[in-house]
Amino acid sequence: MIDTGHPPEQMRFQLSLRRRGISDARVLRAMEEVPRDRFVDPTDRGYAWRDSALPISCGQTISQPFVVAYMTEQLQLEPSHRVLELGTGSGYQAAVLAKLVRGVLSVERYRTLAETARARLEGLGLYNVEVMLGDGLDLGSNLGVFDRIIVTAAVETLPQSLIDRLDDGGILIAPVGPHHGVQTLIRMRKSGGTIERRELVAVRFVPALPGIAREL
């Protein structure tokens, strides 16, 4: 047998992403390089390479790998890009993004999650990600604009404050729909003052809630 250096479950993981239609070689490589087992609760390590969402602290979830790969592919990233993520959670999606672009700013409303994710990302040597404790639904113009925005918590409507953070020519992707139900992944492209909106697939994300969480 040829030894690829990857345990069988990681090989199955890659294969399932390809089979489900992820074809961008850079995205597949980033998914291969980020050790998902470092982003799940220690008790869930055995499930890390399965294609399913898993619970993390603060009642939140780490997204399903296929959805992470799909959203990343739909962002059409270039190495020069600066990306904004709303909803750091475990930091897994931020790590995948960090492999592909110049800089990532990821915003999280739970202090515990932000601190854990920050430590994990640093531990992996991903110094081009900044994790910020804050409310991603209420970002100030002092942050400037981003080439790409990815929202990884469900919004009932897209807040204008977020659309305003998207540069001209930029792409924003977000799950839009009811908080406790099925949302539609929306891809929005800004170009020359016009906004083009496309509905992609049905997804399920935990809700985006306003303000910094009062609990840890």
Enumerate binding residues for ligand SAH (CB under 6 A): 60-63, 86-87, 89-90, 92-93, 107-110, 113, 135-137, 152-153, 206, 208-210
Could you tell me the smallest distance in angstroms from the CB atom of residue 113 to ligand SAH?
A: 5
d(Cα 40, Cα 1) in Å, to the nearest integer?
30
DSSP bridge partners of 134: none
CB 77 within 8 A of CB 24: no
For ligand SAH, which is the closer residue by CB, 157 or 194?
Answer: 157
| Per annotation, catalytic residue among 16, 23, 63, 90 | 63
Burial code (b: 16+ CB inside 10 Å, e: under 16) for 43-68 equals eeeeebbbeebbebebebbbbbbbbb
Could you tell me the smallest distance in angstroms from the CB atom of residue 125 to ligand SAH?
A: 18
d(Cα 127, Cα 34) in Å, to the nearest integer?
14
- Has 141 been annotated as catalytic? no
For ligand SAH, which is the closer residue by CB, 4 or 43?
Answer: 43
For ligand SAH, which is the closer residue by CB, 91 or 170?
Answer: 91
Could you tell me the smallest distance in angstroms from the CB atom of residue 159 to ligand SAH?
A: 9
Which residues are known catalytic residues? 63
